[in-house]
Amino acid sequence: MSTDLNLLSKGLIRLGILIFLFIITPIIITFGFKALDKFTEAPKLYVAYAIIFIGVALLFFTMYFAFKTFGIIKNAIFDNN
């Protein structure tokens, strides 16, 4: 039951990316809702909806990426060979 250092380094790099995603995703969603509140004309309103859509899609990707990252770290620490 030894730790796979190559897999652990890959998991820690992904953990750093995950922390960045945890920070940036709510900021993008907030920008989208603030733009929705500020813009009332049609072309700019579509941009606000696009920002909200990108933020929500990034939210789902962040959740998926979190499960994959924690799975990699788990496999690196608890090697089943």
Q: pLDDT tens across 38-60, in order?
A: 988 989 899 999 999 999 999 99
Cβ atoms < 10 Å from Cβ of 55: 19
Question: What's the rounded Cα separation, in Å, for the pair 40 and 46?
Answer: 10
Q: Which amino acid is at 67?
A: F
Is 70 exceeded by the pLDDT of residue 21?
A: yes
Q: What is the pLDDT of residue 78?
A: 87
What is the domain partition of the chain in residue ranges? Answer: 5-78
Q: How confident is the model at residue 35 (pLDDT cuts 50, 70, 90)?
A: very high
pTM, entire model = 0.86
Q: What is the pLDDT of residue 79?
A: 77
Give the tokens for residue 33.
């809702």
